[in-house]
Structure 1
Amino acid sequence: MADIGLLERYQDFRTRRFLRHAERYRHWLPRWRTQKRRRILVVALAATLVYLATAAAVCLTNMRTGPLLVASAVLAFVTTRAVLQIVSGRQGDAPRDALDEWEIQQRDSARSIGLTVTQSLTVLPAMFLIVASGYDLDIDRPNLAYAGGLFVVTTLTLGACVPTMILAWTRPDPDTDPDDHQEPA
């Protein structure tokens, strides 16, 4: 029974922290809260992840330029993701007690898709590492390990971002009535 109390206290803490942050950032970037602008950010976030994967591929053969590309990709990713989180209200990782029933349903559906994406895509770099390490390819082993790790991190990061990306893409503008956008029963 002590575990249930601990979990409940942690969920209460998460909810209070989420609501405090939601109140703090509620008025930030008001022009970027429209669905059209959120979609621009979703595309930009996807582009930064493609850029990160490309930088990882460069690291296979060029460890001078590759890490610089990785650093710029990470900077672009962190910035874009932070802005998307702010303008979408962090609904993708919101605690259950901070959401209404419709928002919980949407969040859980997006999280389910995110988990599927994570599991499906992370197999690719894992298989790459298994196959590439089993053959004597003309790739330095440290480069292979570094690039493979970046491929794994990229796919895990993409999977973690998918719920926020889906919700930012599909949610209506904040000034519209959510009842107008619910699916018929």
Structure 2
Amino acid sequence: MTWNAFHHRGEILQTVIDTADLRRDGVLPLDVPGVSETFHGELDLVGALHLKWHARLSGNIERELMTQPMDLQDAIARAWAKTSVEAPGIRMIIDRYTETPTDAQMADALQRARTKEWLKLAAAAGLSSDESASSARAGEQVELKGRAAVGQPASQNIDDVVTPSLVDRIKAVLAA
């Protein structure tokens, strides 16, 4: 892939993301100009969107962990929820195509990606250090906690959650 093709693909992908965020219907915006010439089918486009989701989620997890939270599971759930708020169109597309994939290849790819994400969530939350089914279930619980945070009333936006200060965390540790 040439440098120009790489940038063109990125521009088309950003247009797809912007369109998905506007529509919020969970449908791949295949009607965006340049999509059919740039991506090799639905799986290629869903895969590119999944990579964008994963990169943003990873960044949000890192930012949450930088605050040295007292409750790792809550911090990782907040990171998941924040990512969902920041990229609603991508999340809706991933959810829709995971629930109702267009073919077996997409079903397999999205299930593997979902399991890997759950394992990452569980590891970041300090719930596991392996790739077992129980670790994936622990990560799924973290995701569900993040989903619940997004479903809260508008008055409790994820950005309104107060992270305790360093002094408050030290006090809590000393009190325990």
Instruction: Give the structure, 1 or 2, with the largest relative contact order (CA under 8 Å, sep 6 or more).
Output: 1
Q: Which has the larger radius of gyration?
A: 1
**TM, length-normalised to structure 1:** 0.34
TM-score for the superposition, normalised by structure 2? 0.35
Which is helix-richer, 1 or 2? 1
